[in-house]
Amino acid sequence: MFVVQATAGVSKEEDYRALAAQLGALLAGETDGLVNAANTAALLHQALPDLNWVGFYFLRGPELLLGPFQGRVACARIALGRGVCGTAALRRTTQVVPDVTQFPGHIACDHASRSEVVVPLIHDGKLCGVLDLDSPSLARFDAADAAGLEALMRLFLAGSDLTRLVGGAGA
């Protein structure tokens, strides 16, 4: 049984370093992308405070298809360039949105979400999908979260075979 270690009272940078160690241990010996995405979403949802949704969308053809997540029922498909997830995928850059109501074309899967961060999953120069985190609080995410989550996703991608999850013509 894997036990998530609490990191309360430390800086975000220290928190993400501790999360990287936990994620490395969680993924050790497992390469299936579906399993790793499910456990990664659960780890982040349990370990990071003030979240109401954490999950993956994987690139399938011209759109992002919902993958493993923790939280309320979510949008099943997102077109590239649409909403925060589609924008992060199309631009291949992490999107930190302090107030989702101010983001043009925001997709409100959960009306309780007020801020969001989305990290594109890029492996060997190819877009595989995105990691999406939502919070019910305004301005929950910042540059430290973006950098920490990007590092975690590099670890996730290095240890995960996503061939069954990603497919078709895409970016």
**CATH number of domain containing 102:** 3.30.450.40
Structurally, how many domains does the chain consist of? 1
Q: What is the pLDDT along the chain (171 residues), one digit of tens a residue?
A: 677 876 767 899 999 999 999 999 999 999 999 999 999 999 999 999 999 999 999 999 999 999 999 999 999 999 999 999 999 999 999 999 999 999 877 777 777 899 999 999 999 999 999 999 999 999 999 999 999 999 999 999 999 999 999 986 445
Residue pair 141/48 in contact by the 8 Å Cβ criterion: no
**pLDDT at residue 170, as a whole number:** 47
CA distance 78 to 12: 30
Provide the residue range defining the domain that includes 43. Answer: 12-158
Q: In what order do the strands lie in the sheet with 63-71?
A: 77-79, 63-71, 53-60, 126-135, 115-123, 95-97
Give residue 57's pLDDT. 98
Question: Is 111 within a domain?
Answer: yes
Quick one: pLDDT at residue 168?
60
Answer for the pair 55, 109: CB distance below 8 angstroms, yes or no: no
Pick left, alpha or beta for residue 90 (phi over 0 → left; psi -120 to 50 → alpha; otherwise beta).
alpha
Of the candidates 44, 125, 117, 108, the one whose C-alpha atom is nearest the C-alpha of residue 87 is 117
Q: Are strands 95-97 and 115-123 parallel, antiparallel or unpaired?
A: antiparallel
Whether 48 maps to a domain, the answer reads yes
> Is the Cβ–Cβ distance between 113 and 52 less than 8 Å?
yes
Cα 112 to Cα 125: distance, rounded to the nearest angstrom: 34
Q: Is residue 7 assigned to a domain?
A: no
Residue 134 domain flag: yes
Residue 166 lies in a domain: no
In-domain check, residue 163: no
What are the tens digits of pLDDT across the range 91-130?
999 999 999 999 877 777 777 899 999 999 999 999 999 9
Residue 138 lies in a domain: yes
Decide if 171 is inside a domain. Answer: no
pLDDT at 112: 83
